[in-house]
Chain A
Amino acid sequence: MKTNINIKNRVAIIGAGMTLFRRKLKETPQEITFGAVKMALESAGLESKDIEAVVIGSAPDAFDGIHEKGEHLADGALSYLKPTKRVFVGGATGVMAAISGWWHVASGLYDLVLVVAEEKMSNARPHPQAVFLHIWDPILEKPLNPNLIWIFAMEMHRYMYKYNIKKEDIALVTVKNKRNALDHPAARDAANVTVEDVLNSEVLVWPVQRLDISSVTDGAAAIVLASEKIARKFTDSPVWIEGVGWTLDSTHWTCRELAYPLYLEYAGNMAYKIAGISNPRKQLDFAEVYDPFNYKELHHMEGLKLADKGKAPELTREGVTQRDGDLPICPSGGLLGVGNPIAAAGLMKVCELFWQLRYEAGKRQVRIKNGYALAQAWGDLMQVSTVIIAKGG
């Protein structure tokens, strides 16, 4: 893989904001977007006129029931008469939007760029599952009447089979992330649950049970990016984006080894190479890996080389991934704890890097040693991953 590591401009995150994540918000998609953008601007000490370009991230149009969600969100996204684009790579959108904002600045094109991601999943009735049906191949798959959870259940079971992983160990991820979210004031699904609660929750598609999955959520998140040239004008503690990576695998998901996310290994390698990280397990202080399902946190840790293949459950059992552990994973509470408004959930993870690396995470604060942290998202037909590496100070 050839990746140019000589990036023109270094890029800093100088502000972050997010709305409450809830099952249903009163606001429209534009109003939700507006709230997150205002908070991000205020945290950066910027006025709306300072922003030069905007990147919007949002998942399938069908959630809101409005086609071309990018233009729909524009006014609430501070896009008025500004260069604006919308990014969409399924669940991986939130981090991809941040990456897209990064290259706006890294290329030298702009000095101040806003990135905002929004999702209003409560619009789809009675449940967005019916909308998810349309991501399946309409000729060979949809006639079998699939539910979206099927595909993840197939991947989860393959992973469990290949590495002989117990459901008890996977359940520990739910327990940890929901508990971490108790310290996140915007969280929707913070709770003290036990492994037994997870194992006794309703079976949806074996091996997937109710508490293995994150919830349908409304919400938005936003960040402000600045070039190195001006970042310190606005803050003494910018958080630098040191590496980015993304990779898409084949659409033929039935022809892949589902037990291991090879595309994520590629995306991670790209980001590690740009960031100059040779031993992520040692050099990263924490990681916000994508956890829409509990097994995905483990799967993604392995793809990111934060654990050997099939060994992430062991690290979890040993407490390594706890907030006070050696390598905290999802100190925010993740999608399982904070909630999963698709695109906004990915960008929420980038917000968490910003807050943690500036020691602004309150009760969620983890210990910062080397200053490096990673956020990752994943989506489409289990085939795309997006990675960002940030550094404090």
Chain B
Amino acid sequence: MQKIYPAIPVLKEDEGKIIEISYKPEAKYLLSAGQAISRFLNELKNGRIIGRKCYGCNRILVPPRIYCEICFKATDEWIYIRDIGKVVTAVVSYITVDARKAEKHEVVGIIEFIDAPGQGIFHRINVNPENVINRKIFGVTVRAVWKNINERKGDINDILYFEPIEEIK
């Protein structure tokens, strides 16, 4: 049986001829940072990274959570960790938020904290893209580079980026 697939494609020559209504919704929000992330952001202002330890699985959760999603119980203790980690993955972006060509490339990736195994955050990495493309950046130890203390706002951007503290081989 021959199938007939419905719908009418809009072709290039139809652009401007079909009826379309422009619409731009405006929505604004004020988001609660909550118990755990509020403390985390406040500590960023002090140039420190803090996590929550779960006595159930012995993990240090970073970013901190007031509950452990595995043990499903309240976490137990605040713990400061060093701002040092290893690069788990990294990429080089050449596009903007809305998929246009960016003026400048940017390297971002996931950093797994040395003091909190299995836990990481996503951030910018200050490294030559060449070392991302050849994958030499994977596993390299990096450290947070912070904004000047008077410019910090309690925001993830209080960390400017992470930067290698060992030679990339």
Contact = CB atoms under 8 A, between A and B. Distances in A.
B96 interface: yes
Contacts of B88: 158, 258
Contacts of A160: 135
A139 B156 contact: yes
B89 interface: yes
B135 A161 contact: yes
Nearest to A16: B3
A9 interface: no
Interface in B114-140: 118-124, 129, 132-133, 135, 138
B144 interface: no
Contacts of A254: 110, 119-122
Nearest to B123: A144
Interface stretch (A18-26, A234-242, A271-279, A315-323): A18-26
Contacts of A144: 108, 122-124, 156-157
Interface string B34-59: 00010001000000000000000000
Given A157-B91, A206-B91, A25 B122 contact: no
Nearest to A152: B91
B79 to A, nearest CB: 16
B5 A255 contact: no
A360 B119 CA distance: 49
A146 B98 CA distance: 10
A35 B31 CA distance: 40
Given A155-B89, A360-B1, A205 B95 contact: yes
B46 to A, nearest CB: 17
Nearest to A22: B9
A186 interface: yes
Contacts of A158: 88-89, 110
A126 interface: yes
B155 interface: yes
A207 B91 CA distance: 7
Interface residues of A, number: 57
Contacts of B119: 254-255
B23 A18 contact: no
A126 B98 contact: yes
Interface in B4-31: 4-10, 14, 18, 23, 25, 29, 31
Interface in B62-106: 63, 69, 88-99
A25 B93 CA distance: 31
A140 B121 contact: yes
A26 B10 contact: yes
Given A65-B23, A254-B122, A39 B5 contact: yes
Contacts of B92: 203, 205-206
B129 A25 contact: no
B149 to A, nearest CB: 19
A145 B122 CA distance: 12
B97 A206 contact: no
A129 B98 contact: yes
Which of A129, A205, A207 is most buried by chain B, counting CB atoms within 10 A of its CB?
A205
A145 B97 contact: yes
Given A130-B97, A205-B92, A254-B122, A20 B10 contact: no
A25 B20 CA distance: 12
B93 A20 contact: no
B8 A204 contact: no
A24 B132 contact: no
A171 to B, nearest CB: 16
Contacts of A145: 96-97
B8 A26 contact: yes
A153 interface: yes
Contact of B5 (A143, A186, A360): A186
A127 B108 contact: no
Nearest to B65: A252
Contacts of A206: 91-94, 129, 132-133
A185 interface: yes
A147 B97 contact: yes
Interface in A307-358: none
Interface of A: 18-20, 22-27, 32, 35-36, 38-39, 43, 65, 122, 126-127, 129-130, 133, 138-141, 143-147, 149-150, 153-155, 157-158, 160-161, 185-186, 203-208, 218-220, 250, 252, 254-255, 258, 360
6 contacts: A22-B10, A25-B7, A25-B10, A129-B98, A154-B89, A161-B135
Given A140-B63, A157-B89, 14 more contacts: A20-B6, A130-B98, A138-B31, A139-B33, A144-B108, A154-B90, A154-B108, A161-B89, A203-B94, A206-B92, A254-B119, A254-B121, A255-B120, A258-B110
The 7 closest A-B pairs by CB, nearest first: A35-B6, A19-B7, A129-B99, A158-B89, A153-B91, A22-B9, A206-B92
